[in-house]
């Protein structure tokens, strides 16, 4: 019965291609007009489950209006924050400080300012959505070589959080590597009128702060990006066993310009995306419309969710493994959403122009009928934890070996990740951006079940996920993705950036009053006490690393214990019946 249901679910996901759906809600909700607002993220749930408030939201349509908004906030020392159409970052970066700050929406700053075909540059306002950037560039025979895989994000937002695709070649996969100039509106002195535009080009060192700014330096108004002539890519997915993954992972990144790997540890499989640049003359008009980013029926999504909730309640690890195999098997059959001509998959390699292969998100193109939505739509309470960190290439093999030891001990634990496509491994290069990557690295990303309304309820195998998280972040010094993760990932993260002080001095210069800063950004930047929140059950949602049983759920038999492979880790582990501390 369960299996049948899952098959139907997957069937629906795959064959809804091209059907119209309902767009996600705006993350900003106001009770009267544009005042008395709350702001959340695309998931409708911040890591600490708090609700952020703001006194009002403003929608500048020009840089001039943006300047006057920042000026009046700066003059009155009012907190402000740039907010985007969908607010896709998981952590609380969208919140202004305090309870009565002002939200500056970039929704109407969505114009393409200029395309210079000769120098191959595009200038856009910061609220332009990635999809539109890709389309506009393509119309002019140009392309941004590397982008995130999801196009429902804005240029301002994706740069601020260091978002990336996958590559170790050239400048690498982070979109901010392709920035040639930016215009940012910051506070200024009274003589200057309380706000001003700073125009930064490649020769300005401060550009290295502004490219990846976490939104704390001001509001980016315009961005100019270096593009390339349109090229094609050829993609072939190759499945292998994972026995040599520790060695293969680094080699593979060097061999293929756009390669990435999905890892399904319980199935002992690795799925290699062999993805290389080919001549524009090669025939092929392939399309990558990634299946998990397609619209899904509201009812179907609810049913998937119910199945997993039941499996959690009944501790049905095997059930999760059955569904995980179905999901990965079905996606494989459907070529993950690749088609050779936009409608049919006839075989690998799939060759297509970069703009059709690099990014997708058809669930956002929409009709307001409410029946079909994006799989991550907050209205259905689909909750997941998102863990993503990058580990220096030199440490990657050891990390893989440690994870494999955990796989040996608890193979079924990994089915909970494989339900959501396992562990995605992508390549990123060291950056000159102060808050960019410090080394060439592999970014590891996985998502897993989070309970909708019960923060104090433990989850199946959460100790294993917590241990992987702590191995990556602390044993191997991984850098957390700024737009993902739970609070603990940011513990002392800023100390891992040798140029953090340079970033902070630019922040001091641009915004000495800190109107663009919040308690959360101050904590992340090491300017205030810790990012963690110590309270009963805090480790269950990654708000802390447990140091005593009460941080887990002792009444439900989850106790704070050392890791199984990384003994320094502290995780919430399930122990049936009388398990006492003496047994440790």
Nearest alpha-carbon partner for 204 in 574, 557, 509: 509
Helix, strand, coil: what percent of the chain each, to 5?
35, 25, 40
Question: Using the rule CB under 6 A, which residue among 40, 55, 105, 126 binds ligand FAD?
Answer: 126
Binding flag, residue 214, ligand FAD (CB under 6 A)? yes
CA distance 239 to 147: 24
**Which of 164/273 has CB closer to ligand FAD?**
164
Binding flag, residue 62, ligand NAG (CB under 6 A)? no
Binding flag, residue 110, ligand NAG (CB under 6 A)? yes
Binding flag, residue 81, ligand FAD (CB under 6 A)? yes
Nearest alpha-carbon partner for 331 in 20, 3, 7: 7
The size of the chain, in residues, is 584
Binding flag, residue 240, ligand NAG (CB under 6 A)? yes
Question: Using the rule CB under 6 A, which residue among 241, 501, 547, 555 binds ligand NAG?
Answer: 241
CA distance 234 to 566: 40
CA distance 556 to 418: 26
Question: Which range of residues in 48-56, 237-245, 355-363, 411-419 is near ligand NAG by CB under 6 A?
Answer: 237-245
CA distance 283 to 291: 24
Question: Using the rule CB under 6 A, which residue among 153, 338, 433, 489 binds ligand FAD?
Answer: 153
Binding flag, residue 135, ligand NAG (CB under 6 A)? no
Interaction partner, residue 449 (ligand NAG, ligand FAD, none; CB < 5-8 Å by kind): none
Binding flag, residue 31, ligand NAG (CB under 6 A)? no
Quote the least distance from Cβ 564 to ligand FAD, whole Å. Answer: 30
Question: Which range of residues in 11-19, 70-78, 147-155, 533-541 is near ligand FAD by CB under 6 A?
Answer: 147-155
CA distance 191 to 443: 45
Whole-number CA gyration radius for the chain? 23
With contact defined as beta carbons under 8 Å apart, do 181 and 200 qualify?
yes
Range 504-543, binding ligand FAD (CB under 6 A): none
**Which of 249/419 has CB closer to ligand NAG?**
249
Range 88-117, binding ligand FAD (CB under 6 A): 88-89, 93-94, 106
CA distance 282 to 210: 39
Contact partners, residue 141, CB within 8 Å, separation at least 6 = 117, 229, 230
Quote the least distance from Cβ 519 to ligand FAD, whole Å. Answer: 14
Binding flag, residue 245, ligand FAD (CB under 6 A)? no
Quote the least distance from Cβ 328 to ligand NAG, whole Å. Answer: 18
Question: Using the rule CB under 6 A, which residue among 243, 282, 394, 432 binds ligand NAG?
Answer: 243
One character per residue 154-193, x = contact with ligand FAD (rule: CB under 6 A): x-xxx-xx-xx-----------------------------
Range 35-64, binding ligand FAD (CB under 6 A): 42
Question: Using the rule CB under 6 A, which residue among 193, 229, 329, 342 binds ligand NAG?
Answer: 342
**Which of 77/241 has CB closer to ligand NAG?**
241
Contact partners, residue 55, CB within 8 Å, separation at least 6 = 35, 36, 37, 99, 100, 101, 102
Contact partners, residue 173, CB within 8 Å, separation at least 6 = 146, 164, 165, 166, 167, 426, 427, 428, 429
Nearest alpha-carbon partner for 152 in 360, 372, 366: 360
Binding flag, residue 34, ligand NAG (CB under 6 A)? no
Question: Which range of residues in 111-119, 131-139, 215-223, 407-415 is near ligand FAD by CB under 6 A?
Answer: 215-223
3-state secondary structure 231-281: CEEEEEEEEEECCCHHHHHHHHHHHCCCCEEEEEHHHCEEEEEEEEEECCC
Buried/exposed 166-205: b ≥16 CB within 10 Å, e otherwise: bbbbeebbbbbbbbbbbbbbbbbeeeeebbbbbebeeeee
Question: Using the rule CB under 6 A, which residue among 31, 191, 281, 344 binds ligand NAG?
Answer: 344
**Which of 215/349 has CB closer to ligand FAD?**
215
**Which of 262/566 has CB closer to ligand FAD?**
262
Binding flag, residue 108, ligand NAG (CB under 6 A)? yes
**Which of 7/108 has CB closer to ligand NAG?**
108
Question: Which range of residues in 18-26, 150-158, 556-564, 571-579 is near ligand FAD by CB under 6 A?
Answer: 150-158
Residue 572 backbone dihedrals phi, psi, to 5 degrees = -90, 105
**Which of 73/538 has CB closer to ligand FAD?**
73
CA distance 365 to 47: 28
Interaction partner, residue 86 (ligand NAG, ligand FAD, none; CB < 5-8 Å by kind): ligand FAD
Question: Using the rule CB under 6 A, which residue among 25, 63, 132, 536 binds ligand NAG?
Answer: 132
Question: Which range of residues in 28-36, 71-79, 240-248, 559-567 is near ligand NAG by CB under 6 A?
Answer: 240-248
Size of the site for ligand FAD (CB under 6 A): 30
**Which of 193/342 has CB closer to ligand NAG?**
342
String of DSSP letters for 159-211:
HHTT-B----STT-SBGGGGEEEEEEEEE--TTTTSEEEEEEETT-TTHHHHS
Burial of 231 (0-12, 13-18, 19+ CB in 10 A): middle
CA distance 181 to 121: 10
Question: Which range of residues in 216-224, 235-243, 314-322, 326-334 is near ligand NAG by CB under 6 A?
Answer: 235-243
Range 366-405, binding ligand FAD (CB under 6 A): 376
Burial of 363 (0-12, 13-18, 19+ CB in 10 A): buried
**Which of 124/489 has CB closer to ligand NAG?**
124
* Residues at the site binding ligand FAD, with contacts judged by CB under 6 A: 42, 81-82, 84, 86-89, 93-94, 106, 126, 148-150, 153-154, 156-158, 160-161, 163-164, 214-215, 219-220, 376, 483
* Residues at the site binding ligand NAG, with contacts judged by CB under 6 A: 107-108, 110, 132, 240-241, 243, 341-344, 346
């Amino acid at each position: 019965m369960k299996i049948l249901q899952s098959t139907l679910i997957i069937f629906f996901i795959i064959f809804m291609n091209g059907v119209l759906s309902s767009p996600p809600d705006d993350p900003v909700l106001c009770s009267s007009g544009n005042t008395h607002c709350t702001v959340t993220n695309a998931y409708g749930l911040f890591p600490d489950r708090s609700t952020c408030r703001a006194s009002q939201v403003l929608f500048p349509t020009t840089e001039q209006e943006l300047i006057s908004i920042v000026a009046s906030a700066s003059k009155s020392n009012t907190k402000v924050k740039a907010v985007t159409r969908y607010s896709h970052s998981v952590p609380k970066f969208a919140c202004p400080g305090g309870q009565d700050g002002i939200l500056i929406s970039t929704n109407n700053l969505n114009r393409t300012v200029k395309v210079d075909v000769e120098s191959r540059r595009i200038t856009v306002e910061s609220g332009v959505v990635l999809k539109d950037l890709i389309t506009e560039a393509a119309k002019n025979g140009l392309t941004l070589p590397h982008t995130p895989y999801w196009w429902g994000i804005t240029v301002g937002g994706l740069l601020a959080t260091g978002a990336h695709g996958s590559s170790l070649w050239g400048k690498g996969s982070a979109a901010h590597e392709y920035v040639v100039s930016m215009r940012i509106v910051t506070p200024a002195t009274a003589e200057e009128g309380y706000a001003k535009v700073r125009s930064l080009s490649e020769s300005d060192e401060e550009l290295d702060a502004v490219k990846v700014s976490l939104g704390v330096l001001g509001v980016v108004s315009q961005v100019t990006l270096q593009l390339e002539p349109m090229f094609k890519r050829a993609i072939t997915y190759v499945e292998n066993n994972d026995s040599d993954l520790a060695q293969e992972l680094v080699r593979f990144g060097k061999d293929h310009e756009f390669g990435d790997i999905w890892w399904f540890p319980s199935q002992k499989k690795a799925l290699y995306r062999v993805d290389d640049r080919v001549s524009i003359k090669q025939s092929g008009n392939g399309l990558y419309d990634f299946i998990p980013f397609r619209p899904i029926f509201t009812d179907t999504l609810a049913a998937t969710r119910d199945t997993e909730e039941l499996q959690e309640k009944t501790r049905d690890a095997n059930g999760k493994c059955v569904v995980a195999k179905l999901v990965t098997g079905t996606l494989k059959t459907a070529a993950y959403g690749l088609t050779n001509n936009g409608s049919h998959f006839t075989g690998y390699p799939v060759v297509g122009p970069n703009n059709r292969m690099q990014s997708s998100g058809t669930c956002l193109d929409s009709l307001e009928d409410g029946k079909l939505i994006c799989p991550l739509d907050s209205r259905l309470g689909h909750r997941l934890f998102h863990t993503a960190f990058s580990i220096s290439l030199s440490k990657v093999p050891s990390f893989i070996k440690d994870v494999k030891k955990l796989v040996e001990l608890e193979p079924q634990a990994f089915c909970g990740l494989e339900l959501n496509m396992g562990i995605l491994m992508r390549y990123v290069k060291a950056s000159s951006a102060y808050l960019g990557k410090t080394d060439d690295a592999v970014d590891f990303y996985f998502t897993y079940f989070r309970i909708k309304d019960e923060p104090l309820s433990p989850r199946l195998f959460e100790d294993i996920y917590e241990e992987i998280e702590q191995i990556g972040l602390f044993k191997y010094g991984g850098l957390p993705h700024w737009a993902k993760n739970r609070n603990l990932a940011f513990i002392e993260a800023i100390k891992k950036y040798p140029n953090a002080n340079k970033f902070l001095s630019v922040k001091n210069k641009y915004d000495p009053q800190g109107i663009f800063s919040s308690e959360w950004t101050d904590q992340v930047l090491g300017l205030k006490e810790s990012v963690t929140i110590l309270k009963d059950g805090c480790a269950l949602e990654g708000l802390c690393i447990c140091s005593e049983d009460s941080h887990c759920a002792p009444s439900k038999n989850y106790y704070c214990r050392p890791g199984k492979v990384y003994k320094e880790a502290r995780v919430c582990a399930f122990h049936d019946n009388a398990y006492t501390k003496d047994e440790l």
